[in-house]
Amino acid sequence: MKNLLSNALKYTPKGGKIRVTITEKEVDGKMFCLLSVADNGPGIAENLQGRIFESFITGENDPSFSTKVGIGLRIVKNTMDLHHGKVLLNSAPGKGSEFILYLPLGREHFKEDVYQLVEDTRDEQKEEAFIAPEKVREETSPESGKKLLVIEDNDEIRHYIHTLFKKKYRVLEARDGEEGVRIAREEIPDLIISDIMMPVKDGFTCCQEIRQELQTAHIPIIMLTAKAEEEDLLKSTRIGVDDYIMKPFNPEVLKAKAENLIRMREQLKRIYTKTLMLKHTVEKPEEEEQAGLFMQQVISIVEANLTNPDFSAKSLASLLNLSQPTLYRKMKQQSNLSIIEVIRSIRISKAASLIMQKKYSVQEVAEMVGYNDINTFRKHFTNQFGVSPSRYNAL
């Protein structure tokens, strides 16, 4: 009833009328409670009436339905199905709409229910979503601390997406692009799902600003769109959107796309961590990879300050023009190392490179990479490469 009333209020003009009635009726020897919600709004075009109970249909060809029709009516239909009832629609353009719920009285109808294990449908879900739901659940448990930002002005769609991901992620919400950019800066989410058409700041502008800022440039973005126009899709690609999905969307496909992007970022993180532990400077997987550019900046700044033994996480954050908490969050997304461990690894990697040149003593190399204490240098070097600096020099 709440969803039906919400829908009627949304489309009934100022000064219009909404009528709610409750009656009993016998149909084929069975008693039903009839709940009716009628309005004198614009009505629903005939070509949309057959699809009105689908999730997120759009009436782009009907000016009366220029906004999105949310999941409220789909929920009504699903609820009535569970109660062995039905929902009927009587509507005509310019004459308003009436939704009638047929709710069976008593309990006898529930005896017809047949219960099946959820596992019976998993094969179909796997084929449709391309990724096994159980696997997603294991890799993205709430304990992992993953954060997902949903930027969507439609309350119903935003809440629906929140519901899809809340068991696996900490879900953040923004009602427009401006709020979305602010939350992205403050929280550094692991993934962003954004609509295109929004008030204050649209999805294109929002995503462009996120891509242009150092602390948020690496975050993967999925764009939601109700239009399949090539111009919009091309624009999304140019501003750095990682993926897009058409409305109405299959929730399992959206979850699969989200999981794939997060998995790819985790793989990059492992690459950066592994590379930092090698003898040479990190290499970018791709020139355009924003995350790679960030790590390159970190490495360049640390290498420029190698001889300074007092160079710290605070120093690095200041030179990157980031707060320490922001740098910490971003580093955790790029590498499995802490900021101090990254700085240390870069120092030791550079030391290994200098040792390979066979021009300097171990003491000289230690001083060149910012170590005043030779014993600490030997300890850190051995921890990283498994052999002492002297033994490494003999390899």
* CATH number, residue 218: 3.40.50.2300
Whether 321 and 236 share a structural domain: no
Rounded CA separation 352/363 (Å): 13
Put residue 29 in one of left, alpha, beta given phi > 0 → left and psi -120 to 50 → alpha: left
Whether 238 and 295 share a structural domain: no
Residue type, 41: G
Domain membership flag for residue 87: yes
Closest CA to 207 of 230, 225, 180, 229: 180
Whether 264 and 304 share a structural domain: no
Whether 254 and 363 share a structural domain: no
pLDDT string in tens for the chain (395-residue length):
888 888 888 888 888 999 999 999 988 888 999 999 999 988 888 877 777 776 544 444 444 444 444 456 777 887 888 888 899 989 888 889 999 999 999 887 766 555 444 444 444 343 333 333 333 333 444 545 689 999 999 888 899 999 999 888 999 999 999 999 999 988 889 899 999 888 889 889 999 999 888 778 778 899 988 766 677 777 877 788 888 888 778 888 899 889 888 877 776 555 555 555 543 444 444 434 555 677 778 887 888 888 888 999 999 999 988 898 888 888 877 777 788 888 998 898 888 878 877 888 999 999 999 999 999 999 998 888 777 888 877 65
Give the pLDDT of residue 228. Answer: 60
Domain membership flag for residue 109: no
Domain membership flag for residue 258: yes
DSSP secondary structure letters along 10-69: HHSPTT--EEEEEEEEEETTEEEEEEEEEE-SS---HHHHTTTTSTT-B-TT-GGG-SBP
Per the structure block, which two tokens stand in for 383? 């921890």
Whether 264 and 310 share a structural domain: no
98 CB neighbour count, 10 Å cutoff: 18
Domain membership flag for residue 14: yes
Give the pLDDT of residue 132. Answer: 35
Give the pLDDT of residue 374. Answer: 93
Domain membership flag for residue 134: no
Rounded CA separation 26/98 (Å): 20
**Domain boundary residue, one of 269, 298, 328:** 269
Whether 256 and 291 share a structural domain: no
**Domain boundary residue, one of 52, 71, 104:** 104
User: How many domains is the chain partitioned into structurally?
Assistant: 3
Domain membership flag for residue 188: yes
For the question of whether the overall pTM of this predicted structure is more than 0.85, the answer is no
Whether 201 and 181 have beta carbons less than 8 Å apart is answered as: yes
Whether 250 and 307 share a structural domain: no
Whether 255 and 153 share a structural domain: yes
Strand 97-104 versus strand 170-174 pairing type: unpaired
Whether 326 and 339 have beta carbons less than 8 Å apart is answered as: no
Task: Read off the CATH number of the domain in which 345 is found.
Answer: 1.10.10.60
- What residue ranges in 186-344 does DSSP mark as E strands? 191-195, 221-225, 243-246
Task: Read off the CATH number of the domain in which 13 is found.
Answer: 3.30.565.10
Whether 154 and 263 share a structural domain: yes
Rounded CA separation 168/263 (Å): 14
Give the pLDDT of residue 388. Answer: 85
Give the pLDDT of residue 275. Answer: 54
Please give the C-alpha separations between residue 100 and each of 16, 156, 167, 377, 390, in angstroms, as whole numbers. 19, 22, 34, 78, 84
Domain membership flag for residue 340: yes
Domain membership flag for residue 130: no
Whether 265 and 151 share a structural domain: yes
Please give the C-alpha separations between residue 110 and each of 74, 75, 83, 87, 113, in angstroms, as whole numbers. 21, 19, 7, 18, 5
Phi first, then psi: what are they for 114, rounded to 5°? Answer: -120, 125
Whether 214 and 297 share a structural domain: no
Helix (H) / strand (E) containing 97: strand 97-104
- What residue ranges in 184-330 does DSSP mark as E strands? 191-195, 221-225, 243-246
Whether 35 and 63 share a structural domain: yes
Domain residue limits at 350 = 286-391
Give the pLDDT of residue 241. Answer: 86
